[in-house]
Amino acid sequence: MIIHCSKLTTCGTLEDGETVKLEFVDAGGNPISLLLSFEDAESIAMTLPRLLTQAVKAQAGQDNARYVFALGRWLLEGVEDRQSLILTLATIDGFEVSFRIPHATCRALGWSLQHDAEDCAFQAIVITDSRRS
């Protein structure tokens, strides 16, 4: 069955935290609810950014095109094992993702941001912002 969604109306989790619920309106105006296990929702969350980039590449006809999220804020937190940090990146409209980063990778990332940023500024990449009209 193929459902053409016209609008995402609400989303949330069930009380047990094991199920994610997405509610849509289909092309005919009918409400649709989709229940996903935590594992399936995680798989979709991991897949959608790559699919959006594939779509932008196809739309732009350029292999270096990217779908990007404008960064609104970031947060760096320590973890109990003291072997890594958690970096949370968030947009101003509420999308948020967190990464657990080992200390050695943090140092390498910091060095790259400090030393390679100017070189990256000269590489042409087609970008489609997540808030396009």
Tens digits of per-residue pLDDT, 72-89? 999 999 999 889 999 999
Q: Rounded distance, CA 87 to CA 67, Å?
A: 20
**Percent of the chain whose pLDDT exceeds 70:** 87
Tell me the sheet residues that pair with 133: none
- Report, as an integer, the average pLDDT of 7-31: 95
Distance in angstroms between the alpha carbons of the first and the last residue of the chain = 29
pLDDT-derived band of residue 111, with 50, 70 and 90 as boundaries? confident
The size of the chain, in residues, is: 133
pTM of the model: 0.76
- Report, as an integer, the average pLDDT of 106-120: 81
Give the model's pLDDT for residue 113: 85
Residue 125 pLDDT > 90, yes or no? no
Dump strand ranges (E) for 14-117: 19-26, 31-37, 66-68, 73-78, 84-90, 96-102
Give the model's pLDDT for residue 133: 38
- Average model confidence (pLDDT) for the chain? 89
Residue 115 pLDDT > 70, yes or no? yes
Q: Rounded distance, CA 31 to CA 25, Å?
A: 5
Pairing of the two strands 73-78 and 84-90:
antiparallel
Lay out the sheet containing 19-26: strands in order across. Answer: 5-13, 19-26, 31-37
